[in-house]
Amino acid sequence: MEDVEKRLVKMDGRRERTLAISREAVRLAGKAITMMHAREKGKTDELMEKLGSTIKELSGVEKGFEYNSLQAHQEYVEACVLQHVMVYNKIPTIAQLKEGDVAYLLGLLDAVGELKREAFQEMMAENPGKARGYYNLMTEIYDSTLQMRFASSMLPDFRKKQDSARIQIENTGRELLSFRVPPREAH
């Protein structure tokens, strides 16, 4: 029984480490997304580098505790998608992000909200073309998931995230339809 207890203590330590690293990854992803919206490229790059290292560290300890680290991976995907879209104007593939199917899909759907925020920022900056570009990418993400129907035990909160993405797309579409660039003041 002592050997069993030792193994369980070691396993519990790995679980605690997985939880701690996951929390750090979620925190870094949130900060990185905030810096992206603030157009702070230097800080964004630094945070994304730390986030990538943290996810790599997490991947080394999470075996058997993937349920506990899923949110960290999907937040990582969300941050990577936003950064990739802002830099390259396209959605990164699952192969580019080297993430699992579940984390990729959930993070991709979460990114719709961040793209909505970017679309609204572009509308406020009187850039309707860029705003429509973000709207089109939001729609592309949503449309690519429409045919998927899986149990929530396989894809936790997937249906809820799909519904949220649809609502965000509809709201953004309405705003784009009513968007009018105010006339420039004469000088």
**Amino acid residing at 74:** Q
Q: What pLDDT, in 10s, does the model give residues 64-74?
A: 889 999 999 99
pLDDT over 50 (residue 184): no
Q: Is 45 among the domain residues?
A: yes
Residue 150's pLDDT is 85
Q: Angle between the 41-61 and 2-37 helix axes, to the nearest 10 degrees?
A: 160
Summarised one tens digit per residue, pLDDT across range 107-145 is 999 999 999 999 999 999 989 899 999 999 999 999 999
Residues 6+ apart with CB under 8 A from 152: 158, 159
Q: Computed over its alpha carbons, how large is the radius of gyration of the chain?
A: 19
The answer for 64, left when phi > 0, alpha when psi is -120 to 50, beta otherwise, is: left
98 touches 130 (CB < 8 A): no
Question: Mean of the per-residue pLDDT values for the chain?
Answer: 92
Quote the CA–CA distance of 71 and 60 in Å, as a whole number.
Answer: 16
Give pTM, 2 decimals.
0.90
CATH number of the domain within which 90 lies = 1.20.58.2140
Report yes or no on 156 lying in a domain. yes
Specify the number of domains making up the chain: 1
Instruction: Answer yes or no: is pLDDT of 181 > 80.
Output: no
Mean pLDDT in residue range 136-160: 92
User: In this predicted structure, what is the pLDDT of residue 180?
Assistant: 61
Q: What is the full DSSP assignment across 55-114? A: HHHHHHH-TT-HHHHHHHHHHHHHHHHHHHHHHHSSPPPHHHHT--HHHHHHHHHHHHHH
Banded model confidence at residue 1, pLDDT cuts 50, 70, 90: confident
Please state, in angstroms and rounded to a whole number, the distance separating the CA atoms of residues 16 and 137. 37
Is residue 79 a part of any domain in this protein?
yes
Q: Is residue 183 part of a domain?
A: no
Q: pLDDT-based confidence at 149, cuts 50/70/90? A: confident
* pLDDT average, residue stretch 33-59: 97
Distance CA 1, CA 16 (A): 22
Percent residues over pLDDT 90 in the chain: 79
**Residue 26: per-residue pLDDT:** 98
Per-residue pLDDT at 61 exceeds 80: yes
Output the six-digit token pair for 36.
Answer: 């992206």
105 domain residue, yes or no = yes
Q: Whole domain around residue 159: which residue ranges?
A: 2-178
Rounded to whole angstroms, how far apart are CA atoms 157 and 7?
Answer: 33
Tens of pLDDT, residues 77-97: 999 999 999 999 999 999 999
Residue 144 belongs to a domain: yes
